[in-house]
Amino acid sequence: MTEIRNVKIFTEQHTFREGSIAIKDGLFAEPAENPGKIIDGQGCYAIPGLIDIHFHGCMGYDFCDGTQEALREIARYEASVGVTGMAPATMTLPAEQLEEILSNAAAFSADSGKNPGEAELLGVNMEGPFISKHKKGAQDDTYIIPSDVELFHRFQRAAEGLVKFIAVAPEVEGALAFVDRVKDEAVVSLAHTNADYDEALAAFQRGVSHAVHLFNAMPPFGHREPGVVGAVADSHHVTAELICDGVHIHPSVVRAAFKILGENRIILISDSMRAAGMPDGTYTLGGQAVQVTKGRAVLVSSGALAGSASNLMECMKTAVKEMGIPLETAVACASENPAKRLGEYGRRGSITFGKKADLVLLDRDLNVKCVMKDGKRVG
């Protein structure tokens, strides 16, 4: 048994308490009188491993590269920055290529979680191809198609059930019928949509329960035309992603989102692309050239934002230190909330006896001092 002493432990009540954490056989355990190994936590914050449910890549690799090497390097980087669980996102690509990408993920998943140096693959977030050309963002509209139930089932078979999120644009013909058919098979989300308030609200009432990168790739939140954001606010079963990289959303809007939705419905994401962890330069996302300058990633062709060059831990830190979000709130939105949305909270997402010992120690400036995956130190 290992015991980490002298730490401020994040609790399920979203508070920090001073104490010790015991780990046995890869799980959080009850403290013992004679632990085998004692680690001095040096007064650090002890938080659950973070879970990123929406990102594309890092360290020069992309989930849609569709290789085992790409997934392995992505998983290693994510674990190194305190992200111990992941549900990477697809881009809008040809259906056959998406099936190959999903099959590759399924193959990787067979061994995912066995290496403590890697984040665990918990699912896939399909951001395309059933979206709107009018709000395509950095997606390639060549491959945007109407919602298709049979194609979704092909995707799910290729992924061996790993598709946890499937996005739609509800204003596109056939989308609501699609929602009726698949809402019990995966979380249906709104993404890259030009829907107005009534169209979005109708979708939420039919069974859509999640919103992808709120405020981005959707109509603005206006006082006469509240759009998707207003419909999310009025639909209390809906969770919403926020990118807090300091580029995608103004800090005032982030604070407003927390006031409107509350901390239980917000999930922090990074939406990172392959430039995360890399220097500024030219990269690709979904086959399109992206220029990254001072952490801002934009399409070379249009100047549209093309994901982020950050990671979830840095986004959480930015939310706290630059946007005024309480640390306790930010931690919950980057660990507990995504775990619940994935149906994984019984196994991870909090420092609770019997759960997987995925843990991050942060110093007072929120710098990562130690990451543990299944009770073993990463790196």
Handedness of CA 317, 127, 305, 134 (dihedral sign): negative
Distances (CA, A) of 111 to 36, 285, 342: 29, 27, 19
Q: CB 59: neighbour CB atoms within 10 A?
A: 18
Active-site entry in 52, 271, 358, 374: 271
Amino acid at the residue 346: G
Long-range contact set of residues 37-42: C-beta below 8 Å, sequence gap at least 24: 37/1, 37/2, 37/3, 38/2, 38/3, 38/5, 39/2, 39/3, 39/4, 39/5, 40/5, 40/6, 41/4, 41/5, 41/6, 41/7, 41/361, 42/6, 42/363, 42/369
Q: CB 302: neighbour CB atoms within 10 A?
A: 12
C-alpha closest to that of 48 among 364, 344, 257, 318: 344
Cite the beta strand spans of 196-278 per DSSP E. Answer: 210-211, 239-243, 266-269
- Supply 334's token pair: 């980057």
Length of the chain: 379
| In contact, 184 and 153? CB cutoff 8 Å | no
Q: Is 271 known to be catalytic? A: yes
Q: Which residues are catalytic?
A: 271
